[in-house]
A = this chain, B = another copy of it.
Amino acid sequence: MMARNTDMRWRLPLVCLLWELAMIILFGVFVRFNAESDIAGWEKAKQEKNITSDAENDFYFRYPSFQDVHVMIFVGFGFLMTFLQRYGFGAVAFNFLLAAFGIQWALLVQGWFHTFENGKILIGVESMIGADFCVGSVCIAFGAVLGKISPVQLLIMTLFQVTLFSVNEYILLDLLHVKDAGGSMTIHTFGAYFGLVVTAILYRPNLEQTKDKQGSVYHSDLFSMIGTLFLWMYWPSFNSAISDHGDAQHRAAINTYCSLAACVLTTVAFSSLLQKKGKLNMVHIQNATLAGGVAVGTAAEMMLTAYGSLIVGFICGIVSTIGFVYFTPFLESKLRIQDTCGIHNLHGMPGLIGGIVGAVTAAAATEGVYGKEGLIRAFDFTGDFSHRTPSVQGGFQAAGIAVSLGMALAGGAIVGGILKLPFFGDPTDENCFEDNVYWEVPGDEESSLYCMNDSNAKPVTDP
């Protein structure tokens, strides 16, 4: 393989500066405060809707959940990926970069689809949650290509994926009128299969030689657990963040709490069962314990019930752990899909399960459980959709899974093809999973760092 030029000096600044300038111009033209964050607008809304208390501002219903989601995107995903012994800077900081760009672009694209009025996009706290959600799907896809692409490639992937995410979301939520508050379909299924197709197209046949660097060291596994735990703890906020005020947010949090708890036990069980001598594997604890949150993403706000949630978590801990032990090696050797973080196990399969659970839960909804008003309220059976029945809704939910999967596969193929273009500065195979390529790493000139890594590691000389 020819030595490539990984010098980012002109390419990365150019992309960052030009795109940020574009954001400023587009925000200037399009983005305005919505009625609840505008000084004159809130005054007017209070009068018109006869609101007597500022506590009715949507900010107070959603801001604590927004902050939890924000932590999941930046600390959760960022630190979860620091498990690699020599890619901690790239994991946490490239995730930071992609998310910071992604939320701006998502505010625009989602705004055009959802809150576009009189030529203006109106934003509020729900827009910020939506933007963070959208970026979550890019963080997931980043997990598949972690350590193998340049920051410029990452920004390009973000640009396209945010756009496609928003199109897919619009089809599901608006056209198919599907419920997906925690994003099993729109975020996890879409993000995971998109990323898997991209990494398949960027297949690197000689990645074996960096096998050492694909492992962790003791303290990098602890850093990764910071990410795991913040994702796990705040997932109830994630799945309830954009549900309706009142009982729906309340219920979504409880269901997610239950599913995640069950998932931890089956993950531990199968991690021990599948390893020789019954020793636990940190990779499973870091990842598979979260699958329960993914898989109640669609149904959490429905009347899934606590025991229904436990069953979903139970199954997903098993599926996800088995995935790490058997599917990931299979995908790599047979299908040439190199999935660095195992997103297929954490987001792919649990996302599909989540979509199915949502479809079944919707189809099984009855007036006996929801009440007549409750059923209409839970599924928005109003306006054009006032004639829908739960079983029809279940069918549309199932269609939503298929659409998300299709969009992910097609979109991933196109974007993967674009990223293959030879001038984006991706690292050579032997320089994958190595911070040194894009970062000034402290102590590189000396021996200091390497005692923390395995004895085979050698300072990487710049190409």
Contact = CB atoms under 8 A, between A and B. Distances in A.
A233 B67 contact: yes
Given A251-B33, A446-B454, A23 B310 contact: yes
A234 interface: yes
Q: Which of A53, A54, A442 has most chain B Cβ within 10 Å?
A: A442
Interface stretch (A58-66, A160-168, A179-187, A385-393): A58-66
Contacts of A446: 454-455
A250 interface: yes
A34 to B, nearest CB: 9
A82 interface: yes
Contacts of A57: 245-247, 250
Contacts of A21: 314
A249 to B, nearest CB: 6
B250 A124 contact: yes
A198 interface: no
A55 B53 CA distance: 9
B233 A70 contact: yes
A222 B24 contact: no
A210 interface: no
B374 A250 contact: no
Q: Which of A10, A42, A59, A218 has most chain B Cβ within 10 Å?
A: A218
Closest 9 A/B residue pairs (Cβ):
A9-B278, A100-B264, A54-B246, A42-B247, A27-B307, A40-B371, A16-B269, A54-B245, A13-B269
A232 interface: yes
B442 A453 contact: no
Interface stretch (A253-261, A353-361, A398-406): A253-261
Query: How extensive is the interface on chain A, given as a class?
Result: 35 or more
A313 to B, nearest CB: 9
B307 A13 contact: no
A440 B217 contact: no
Contact of A251 (B39, B100, B452): B39
A374 B247 contact: no
A197 to B, nearest CB: 27
A74 interface: yes
B266 A88 contact: no
A100 B452 contact: no
Interface string A294-308: 000000000101110
A438 B280 contact: yes
A226 B226 contact: yes
A123 to B, nearest CB: 6
A330 interface: no
Contact of A233 (B75, B232, B443): B75
A227 to B, nearest CB: 11
Given A24-B310, A27-B307, A151-B268, 6 more contacts: A17-B265, A78-B225, A103-B257, A215-B442, A279-B439, A280-B440
Interface in A195-247: 215-219, 221-223, 225-226, 229-230, 232-234, 236-237, 245-247
For this chain, the copies found in one complex come to: 3
A378 B75 contact: no
A440 B324 CA distance: 15
A95 B219 CA distance: 18
B278 A75 contact: no
A438 B281 CA distance: 9
Given A20-B265, A41-B247, A374-B40, A280 B221 contact: no
A31 B374 contact: no
Interface string A138-167: 000000000000010000000000000000
Contacts of A97: 264-265, 268
Nearest to A101: B265
15 contacts: A17-B269, A20-B314, A67-B68, A75-B226, A88-B218, A88-B222, A93-B280, A96-B264, A104-B262, A107-B306, A125-B253, A151-B268, A218-B442, A219-B452, A448-B452
Interface in A425-461: 438-443, 446-449, 451-455
Contacts of A58: 250
A242 B10 CA distance: 42
Interface in A80-104: 82, 85, 88-89, 92-93, 96-97, 100-101, 103-104
